[in-house]
Amino acid sequence: MKIIDILNKREMSLSFEVFPPKKESSFETVEATTEEIAACHPAFMSVTYGAGGGTSKYTMEIAKNIMDKYNVPTLAHLTCVSSSREAVHEKIEQMKQLGIKNVMALRGDLTPELEKTDPSTWDYKHATELVRELKEMGDFCVGAACYPEVHPDSVNQKDDLTHIKEKVEAGAEFLTTQMVFDNNLFYNFMYKIREIGVTVPVIPGIMPITNANQVERAIKLSGSFMPQRFKSLVDYFGNDPEAMKQAGIAYATDQIIDLYANGITNVHVYSMNKPDVAKTIMENLSNILGKDFNR
């Protein structure tokens, strides 16, 4: 099933993200956790490509496994900046063979090694190029990333918004945001993106922080703003793992409920291979999910 068809249903839903194993030896552990998350029957699951510590090697395998075993639609991520055109095309062909229908087209981060090289020698500079090629090469539903707090490489927000619009014009059918901890930043971004004429669904990304150590990593990774309300929670409960986990899940659930109540029907949860977190959030929303309160 294509993700755009799920989004167009306008029913309250959640999607979860998983990442492939760091090492071959942990493949089975990751496979088991992704299966537990799939058993929660989210609207779809995304599988990252070389992000969050995972490798890019198993993205497609995991995505196909979730689809075949659990009938949960999957979104396979693909990055391009550090790859040759030939290697990217090979991946796209593999996706077609595996029956993968949904792809998140990403540039990927610029590594220090890559930054030392001449950009004119790179086969890809921006995600837009990958979006365009995916649309040309197969019948894919393509998603792309966006950044309510502006991508760190951007000159300014206006410029960043222009490039997001280009990704949509190249064929991206939906956008997923970088993690946000303050919903007002997301609402503000929605206003700006609609104002420049981007009409595709935008899925807010919510990261449940379940231990204090995760906070620093999440800020480093995303540069996202942490509201005082969230910082107080980490300060107060951070030293008690069980309390922190409960408080972090409650905070994320509260964000999701606020998003639903403001007309956002699909929310993406950066569930980070944690089935217990995915299950608890699903339970917290059991009387809300799957409904259309506008009917």
Q: Any idea which residues carry the catalytic annotation?
A: 17
Shortest distance (Å) from residue 120 CB to ligand FAD: 14
Contact call for residue 205 and ligand FAD (CB under 6 A): yes
Whichever of 90 and 153 has its CB closer to ligand FAD, that residue is: 153
Consecutive H or E run containing 97: helix 85-98
Q: State the number of binding residues for ligand FAD (CB under 6 A).
A: 25
Per the rule left: phi > 0, alpha: psi between -120 and 50, beta: everything else, 271 is: alpha
Q: Choose, by CB under 6 A, the member of 20, 108, 201, 238 that binds ligand FAD.
A: 108
Contact call for residue 153 and ligand FAD (CB under 6 A): yes
Contact call for residue 74 and ligand FAD (CB under 6 A): no
Contact call for residue 193 and ligand FAD (CB under 6 A): no
Contact call for residue 163 and ligand FAD (CB under 6 A): yes
Which one-letter amino acid corresponds to residue 196? I
Consecutive H or E run containing 134: helix 127-137
Shortest distance (Å) from residue 294 CB to ligand FAD: 26
Backbone angles phi, psi at 75, to 5 degrees: -120, 110
User: Of 88, 75, 134, 81, whose CA–CA distance to 109 is shortest?
Assistant: 81
Consecutive H or E run containing 204: strand 202-206
Tokens of 141: 């539903």
String marking each residue 24-63 x if it binds ligand FAD according to CB under 6 A: ------------------------xxxx------------
Backbone angles phi, psi at 144, to 5 degrees: -145, 165
Contact set with ligand FAD (CB under 6 A): 48-51, 77, 79, 104, 106-109, 126-128, 145, 151, 153-154, 159-160, 163, 167, 176, 178, 205
